[in-house]
Amino acid sequence: MNGELLRDLVPAVIGVLVRRGADFASAEDAVQDALVEAVRGWPESPPRDPRGWLITVAWRRFLDAARADTSRRQREVRVEGEPVPGPVEAVDDTLQLYFLCAHPCLTPASSVALTLRAVGGLTTRQIARAYLVPEATMAQRISRAKRKVSGVRLNQPGDVATVLRVLYLVFNEGHSGDVDLAAEAIRLTRQLAAQIDHEEVAGLLALMLLHHARRPVRTSPDGRLVPLAEQDRSRWNRHLIAEGVEVLQNALARDRLGEFQAQAAIAALHADARTVEETDWRQIVEWYDELVRLTDSPVARLNRAVALGEADGPRTGLAALAGLDPALPRYAAVAAYLHERAGDPVTAARLYAEAARSAPSLPERDHLTRQAARLNSQPRR
């Protein structure tokens, strides 16, 4: 059994422990301990029933910890022996765990960390590395988050939108380390989609699959950003695209549009174009209209201006840009692109240089500096 399959079992096992009377924080610790034991022992002697094994070992660890705790505090032992397990409701347990880890009382960073540990089964060290913070810091963040949700009962219904925001963050803000956070986000969203029939869960899953399909060519081997128009489309992952499109179509068929479905639809239209010239910009603009209507997000308006520039020409794109706040992230980069297409390389070069100065990441800064350098070194009439 590989690590991912093993980690698939984590939420259900935590759920069983909680239903047997363990508090969430201790249950989660006990399951992590059991995971460590599994990773060590299973290659030699794999259990016949991995889930049952994890439950047994985790429960034993929980009892040990509870006894140590109570004797330390000179209290009476409250937990004795193994109670009769309740009815198995693994599906519901897993779902409740997603809600708990994304609880609105937590900050986004805490929700992300707790989700990766309690639902994803990653170790604190792996999570710390993925977010480039010291392990002690991440351990503290996770234990504070656990304390904060300790009073929340697992059977309260949650808001699926909060869970989706957390999964989206995991997908979008991964760094490095030995864990592929984008792949982990897809695994967790897939697992969620199997638990709950919700069009936006499917929308987010489709969005992730469609973007993940382009990942191998989005950066060059030396770390340079490769813009969509210049990517080698033959190297996009067609399996992921096909799956993403299918998931999306099923979601859209329910006729309850949401922002993730709209974003996925835009990604699907790009994925559908064999060459950049084949891109159906008209339809993409329409999806951005939907996205703006759904979210009223200035970022969606900014991206809409780019699509409009492609569909109706750069002047129309620039006109759409005129109504937006120039302080928006990436505003200068979008303006630079549209000005270049409108035949004004001098303004475009100045704006690219300005965009480089306020770029949110080094690869973006380098990319924008290159764009400015390219325009500045062109012979001018």
Partner 1 sequence: MAKYLLLKHYRGGPAPAVDWAPMDQWTPDEVDAHMRFMHDFGARLEETGELVDAQALSPDGAFVRYDGEGRPPVTDGPFVETKDLVAGWYVVDVESWDRAVELAGELSAAPGPGGRPIHEWLEVRPFYGVPAAVPE
Write down the least CB distance from residue 331 to partner 1, Å: 15
User: CA 272, CA 342: separation in Å to the nearest integer?
Assistant: 27
DSSP notation for 255-323: ----HHHHHHHHHHHHHH-SSGGG--HHHHHHHHHHHHHHH--HHHHHHHHHHHHHHH-HHHHHHHHHT
The letter for the amino acid at 205 is: L
Between CA 374 and CA 366 the distance in angstroms is 12
The window from 28-36, 93-101, 155-163, 366-374 that contacts partner 1 (CB under 8 A) reads 366-374
- Which of 74, 176, 373, 380 forms a contact with partner 1 (CB under 8 A)? 373
Inter-helix orientation angle 238-252/259-272, to 10°: 140
> In the complex, what is the shortest distance from the CB of residue 374 to partner 1, in angstroms, rounded to a whole number?
5
Based on the shown chain and the rule CB under 8 A, indicate whether residue 358 belongs to the binding site for partner 1: yes
Distances (CA, A) of 123 to 42, 92, 116, 126, 131: 18, 24, 8, 5, 13
Contact 267, 211 (CB under 8 A): yes
Name the region of 55 (left: φ>0; alpha: ψ -120 to 50; beta: rest): alpha
Integer Cα distance of 110 and 143 in angstroms? 9
C-alpha to C-alpha distance for 350 and 362, rounded to whole angstroms:
19
287 contributes a contact to partner 1 by CB under 8 A = no
In the bound state with partner 1, the residue whose beta carbon lies nearer, of 341 and 374, is 374
Between 61 and 129, CB nearer to partner 1: 129
Among residue numbers 215 through 234, which ones bind partner 1 (CB under 8 A)? 222-224
Strand partners for 69:
none
Looking at the Cβ atoms of 43 and 360, the one nearer to partner 1 is: 360
Rounded Cα–Cα distance for residues 15 and 211 (Å): 32
Q: State in angstroms the smallest separation of the CB of 354 from partner 1.
A: 10
359 lies in the binding site for partner 1 (CB under 8 A): yes
Residue 366 C-beta: closest distance to partner 1, Å: 5
Question: For residues 62 and 352, which CB has a smaller minimum distance to partner 1 in the complex?
Answer: 352
Whose CA is closest to 290, among 278, 279, 304? 304
- Between 41 and 134, whose beta carbon lies closer to partner 1? 134
In sequence order, the β-bridge partners of residue 225 are: 219
Cβ-based nearer residue to partner 1, 222 or 278: 222
315 binds partner 1 (CB under 8 A): no
Decide if residue 2 touches partner 1 (CB under 8 A): no
Q: Does 175 bind partner 1 (CB under 8 A)?
A: no
Binding mask 191-220 for partner 1 (x = CB under 8 A): ------------------------------
Query: Which residues, 332 to 351, sit near partner 1 by CB under 8 A?
Result: 349
Counting residues that bind partner 1 (by CB under 8 A) gives 20
**Footprint of partner 1 (CB under 8 A):** 222-224, 349, 352-353, 356-360, 362, 366, 369-370, 372-374, 376-377
